[in-house]
Chains A and B, each alone.
Chain A
């Protein structure tokens, strides 16, 4: 009986908070918020103090702190200012409005998803080629790696200019930059995955005198699925970065990148920060979506979760 009582008590809210992830996560968040507020005062104080002195305003610490957390164009905005801005641009505006961050997030998401899909196809095709054709393994792999050593910020404007010259603008160039970044982890993951079957599993296929195509579809592909999802999670986050970077040199009028750009033109740090927060939330949602699909697919395939 006492065991039962303890057991049910063990499932209580307190127990879950104490043993779960909630408390550690909340502690870290709280610490970050405290540091952030302190940082806002520290970084904004110089502007404020010089302003007070110029206008002969009497001030004390309390006023300084209050003003540091309420500036219109702070060096570092306080968290609640960003929260207010996000609330205003995400929840208060119609999502079709040009001032809605949801609208801008969607523009970027569409480029991200297209780039992710293209990167996925390219990455998988390259991996299949590299695994099956030895010449490609030697000739292509160095280029695949070299492609990632070029800073994306340097190559993005070129892509935009070249494609713009060919009359391609808007979504496609952004997606291509996104693809350029995200195919890499997919290729690497898939090459590893397609090569993951061990000698025994391959020998087994040989005893059945299976064709290369049969070995591919019945062994290599299913064996590569866990590797594919691991790399897709990395790739989807990178796709988003690629799409945002693609929006910067185009002087795009819409998208998260455009918000970042216009925010920096006009010193609208609050706008920049809220765009950044929305971008990171978006990234988390995308990674989470891939994780959910991964869980479903792997459990359907009988992999132990």
Chain B
């Protein structure tokens, strides 16, 4: 089976060797449940380099969210080796090395948009001026200037999710973890936010890990696609996606795009994701 875990391997833009941000070897995670242990992650090997946009794709229960939660130190692996920025996930979390965007916006309803973005900064102990400045900067990054004083319920779902992205960015992490952030949004909003996210990635040069179960979304956004399969959760294929960085939505009709999408689908089929 085809697998590129070696950073030097690959084609085009991917040839330059960069520092690995995430290094995972032989990682296993077994959940102990009342009926039977669940093998959520099985022998996962993965390297993610600085500046990559990596998508984890696979059907429900393939462990893509779990893998991301392991990186974020929200789950502890049963065995195996994992480093984040050369540290253990726990150290990385304590150093606030990453920003995490959840499936739902998870905004605190009693805080205004601005105050929601300032929440992590308050916890980090930044000065009030710095907090306000970063809130302003990141709100404009997600095109939400003028919504500072609004409360979450006054915003649409898409806007709320943009606030939560601004909140994750305000920590100024080099690593952005996004767990199906647009899963609950309609397709039009989703396309729009995908474009915005891509531009943001291009501007900031951050490393992004993005969990999704949409093939077009993963191909459109990523520089690397990790295809996963369920029971037990494992990596089937790692596909380099060397479309130009400044891609627009139109690229989804090009043969190159469709070819990569086809490979992703083949990978999913090989992992029995389409079986009953």
User: Which secondary structure dominates chain A's binding surface?
Assistant: helix
Provide the bound-state CA to CA distance between A302 and B99, in Å.
26
Give which listed residue, A201, A207, A303, contacts B98 with CB less than 8 A: A207
Nearest Cβ distance between residue A88 and chain B, in whole angstroms?
49
Cross-interface CB contact of A218 among B93, B100, B122, cutoff 8 Å: B122
CB of B111 within 8 Å of the partner chain: yes
Q: Are B100 and A225 in contact (CB under 8 A)?
A: no
Q: List 8 A-B contacts (CB under 8 A).
A: A200-B106, A203-B100, A206-B74, A208-B119, A209-B94, A218-B122, A302-B111, A304-B151
Q: Is the interface of B mostly helix, strand, loop or mixed?
A: loop
B-facing residues in A186-208 (Cβ within 8 Å): 200-201, 203-208
Q: Is the beta-carbon distance between A204 and B100 smaller than 8 angstroms? A: yes
Are B102 and A203 in contact, with the CB atoms below 8 A?
Answer: yes
Q: Known contacts A214-B123, A218-B122, A302-B151; decide if A207 and B100 are in contact (CB<8 Å).
A: yes
- Tell whether A222 is near chain B: CB-to-CB under 8 Å: yes
In angstroms, Cα B109 to Cα A223, docked, is: 9
Question: Which of B102, B123, B153 contacts A208 (CB under 8 A)?
Answer: B123
Contact flag A302-B110 (CB < 8 Å), given A206-B74, A207-B72: yes
Expressed in whole angstroms, the minimum distance between the Cβ of A6 and any Cβ of chain B is 31
- How many A-B pairs have beta carbons closer than 8 Å: the answer is 54
Nearest A-chain residue to B103, judged by Cβ: A200
Cβ–Cβ contact A218 & B110, under 8 A: no
A209's partner among B96, B104, B151 (CB-CB below 8 A) is B96
What number of B residues sit within 8 Å (CB to CB) of A? 26
Q: Which of A124-150 contact B (CB under 8 A)?
A: none
Q: Is B157 part of the binding interface, using a Cβ–Cβ cutoff of 8 Å?
A: no
Known: A203-B74, A225-B110. 13 other contacts (CB 8 A): A203-B102, A204-B102, A204-B106, A205-B123, A207-B98, A208-B124, A214-B123, A222-B108, A222-B110, A302-B110, A302-B111, A302-B151, A304-B151
Q: Check: B112 CB closer than 8 A to any chain A CB.
A: yes
Interface string of B99-138 (1 = CB under 8 A from A): 1101110101111100000011011100000000000000
B:176-209 near A, CB below 8 Å = none
Chain B residues in 8 Å Cβ range of A225? 110
Partner pick for B112 among A203, A209, A302, CB 8 A cutoff: A302
Whether A210 and B104, one on each chain, are in contact in the complex, defined by CB atoms closer than 8 angstroms, is no
Select B109's contact among A203, A205, A302, beta carbons within 8 Å.
A302
Residue A276, interface by CB 8 Å: no
A301 at the interface (CB under 8 A from B): yes
Cα(A218)–Cα(B124), bound, Å? 13
CB distance from A170 to the nearest CB of B (A): 41
Question: How far does the alpha carbon of A207 sit from the alpha carbon of B102 in the complex, in Å?
Answer: 11
A152 adjacent to chain B (CB < 8 Å): no
Q: Is A219 an interface residue (CB 8 A)?
A: yes
